Each structure stands twice: as structure tokens, then as C-alpha cells.
Amino acid sequence: MPKADINKAGWEQSDFPILCETCLGSNPFIRMSKQEYGRSCGTCARPFTVFRWNPGQGGRFKTTVICQTCAKIKNVCQTCLLDLEYGLPTQVRDTALGYKNEAPTSDINREYYAQNMEAKMQDGGDSSKSGLEINKSAAAGRDMLKQLARTDPYYKRNRPHVCSFFVKGECNRGTECPYRHEKPADNDLAHQNIQDRYHGRNDPVAKKIMGSHAEAQGLKPPEDESITSLFLSSLSPSSTEQSVRTRVLHSLPAIQPTQLKSIVHVAKTRCAFVNFKDRASAEHAALAWANGLEIDGETASVKWGRSRPKTTAASASASPAPVVGVSTLAS
């Protein structure tokens, strides 16, 4: 590399973007503009080749927002940042398959990490290969993704943005306005950003998808906020408390081991109680195990625990106080 270009080491040049079918649009004949080093990547901040095109009549111009290296690491589209195989947010895919997000989020380390991953994929002999190994994941997680996958293109995502002047009542273009004239929905789905979508954290779209699926599987969170336990049934006869604990922690990389309070394994009935320290960790586990949890070759069924019956003051006063030092036998 010439000395004058030493500062461009690691900058990306490409001939065609990595896109999903929805972002490409319904028109088989599209015209793309290409600009080398047009902007910095939205995740690793390295300059890359930017592509811009119109996906079809009535759609807005779309552009690539992350580099191809970051897209290959997560196997996502360079524009919408959805998984290329299932068409789902990365948080849904990583939660179902138990993937741990190893990409750093700090400005200092993310460019270094992207360069190392790019060199690793090139050393493997196939620079177009994804950095994920889905075939090695649990079968229950793959079944969950197959049920949630969106196989057909969803061209409604390519619609123009809402006209900000129309929202303020100041748009005078009428039907000639290229933007949509409608009131925007003020909910959690309206607050999305590239970093959360890519790294799979606090994504409102992913939470809505996983929440609906968990309710359909009978794992709707109970109203009692004090319930932080999940009940596992149909365990393998060879399962032990240690094997259950190891599998639980391995399937929940987003939860720290300290958030797991205890595991109560009942070998006689082949079941176990998984107790968490807080409600948020229990809800996250319920979303990840909506299709069951594979332990020791068997897929265990998952249900929410039940709240303990509250003892009233009248019943407590009616029962005689135990005498210290005297053991009572059950009649």
C-alpha cells in the first residue's frame, strides 16, 4: 500500500451492497448510485462505500448505513439491519439462539474489533460468509425463529417518511408532497436507533415480537410482580442441578450469573424451579424459552411459577404456636 494511503487502511470498498429483498424493492430494474467512502459506518465508524437507490414507485430513497464487515458479522441487511435469513431484529434472533453480543460499543474498541473480524473472515477463505453459526444452536431456538420468520417481502417498510410540516399544519404542497400526510404514532416503536437495533438491546420492535409469541405459547407474565420463578418440566432422567444451571446460564448470555438466585431440581418428578433475583431477568428468560429449553437432549416445557398463598392474620392466630424443643408429627 502506498504511503499516501496508509490512513485509509481498513476503509471499505465494495461493488454491490448486502441487502434484503424488501429493501431492494419490487422493481427488478433499479438504478443505484455509488460513492466510495461516502460516510462512516453507523456501528464501527469506519468509512465505507455508500449505495443509494429508489426501491420502487411511491417509495423513499434508501441508503446503506453500515459497512459490509459489520453486516457480515451479524448477518444483517446494510440498510434495515434485520437478519437476512429470518427477516427479524437481531435481538429476537440472538435471544432465541442464545448468542452473546461480543461487539464492543465504545468508540475506542469498535473499529479495532471490526478490523479483527474482517481479517478473521478473510483468513477463513470465504469473505462473504457470515460470522454466525446458526446450525450449532439449540433446536428449540431454531424452531422459534422459523415460526416468527417473515419469508415474504414487506414493501410497506419502503414508504416515505411522515411529513414534518404536515404534522405542524404548515405543509402547502398537497398531493405533490413526496412525504406521507398522516399523524405519526407516538409509542415505543417510534423511538428506534441504529446502535440498539444492531447490537440487539432495548429494541422495541423485538420486544413486541417476542412478547406476542410468548403470550401465544402460554407464557404471559403474571400480574403478581413478586413472581420471579419459572417451572421446567419433562426434564431428562440424567439431568442434575448442575447440568440445569449450566444450560440455563448458557442460554441466557444477556443475564449475569449473579441474577440467578437458585435452581431447585426434583429428580423424582423430573422438574426444576429456576428462581431469579428480579422480575426483568425472569421475563427475559420466558421470552427466550417460549418454545422450550433443550437440556441434556430433551426439550423441557416452561411455565411461570405460582405465587404463594398469603396467610391471613386470622388463620395465623388460629394455629397454635409451636413449642420449642418439641417436634410435631403430621397426622
Q: What pLDDT score does 7 carry? A: 52
Distance from C-alpha of 237 to C-alpha of 216, rounded to nearest angstrom: 29
Distance in angstroms (rounded) separating the CA atoms of residues 331 and 151: 62
126-to-72, 84, 121, 122, 287 alpha-carbon distances in Å: 11, 18, 7, 6, 34
* Mean pLDDT, residues 17-41 taken together: 90
Tell me which residue of 305, 293, 297, 303 sits closest to 144, measured CA to CA.
Answer: 293
pLDDT of residue 122: 66
Q: Which residues contact 15 (CB under 8 A, 6 or more apart)?
A: none
Buried b (16+ CB within 10 A) or exposed e, 290-315: bbbbbbeeebbbbbbbeeeeeeeeee
pLDDT of residue 183 exceeding 90? no
pLDDT of residue 235: 93
Residue 178 has pLDDT above 90, yes or no: no
Q: End-to-end alpha-carbon separation of the chain, Å?
A: 88
- Predicted confidence band at 107 (pLDDT cuts at 50, 70, 90)? low
C-alpha span between 202 and 314 (Å, rounded): 46
Average pLDDT, rounded, for the chain: 82
Q: pTM for this structure? A: 0.76
Pair 151, 87: CB distance under 8 Å: yes
pLDDT number for residue 126: 55
Summarised one tens digit per residue, pLDDT across range 74-103 is: 899 999 999 999 999 999 999 888 887 766
Residue 258 pLDDT > 80 = yes
CA distance 249 to 259: 10
- Which residues, other chains included, contact 262 with Cβ-Cβ below 8 Å and sequence gap of 6+? 273, 275
User: Can you give the pLDDT at residue 254?
Assistant: 85
Torsion 235-236-242-244 (CA) sign: negative
Q: What dihedral angle (degrees, nearest 10) is formed by the CA atoms of 275, 280, 281, 284?
A: 120
Q: What angle do CA 102, 107, 108 make, to 5 degrees?
A: 85
pLDDT at 89: 92
* Cell numbers linked to 324: 420449642
Query: Tell me, what's the pLDDT at 323?
Result: 41
The pLDDT value recorded for residue 186 is: 74
Supply the pLDDT for residue 310.
Answer: 65
Q: Distance of alpha carbon 111 from its chain centroid, rounded?
A: 22
What letter would DSSP give residue 307? P
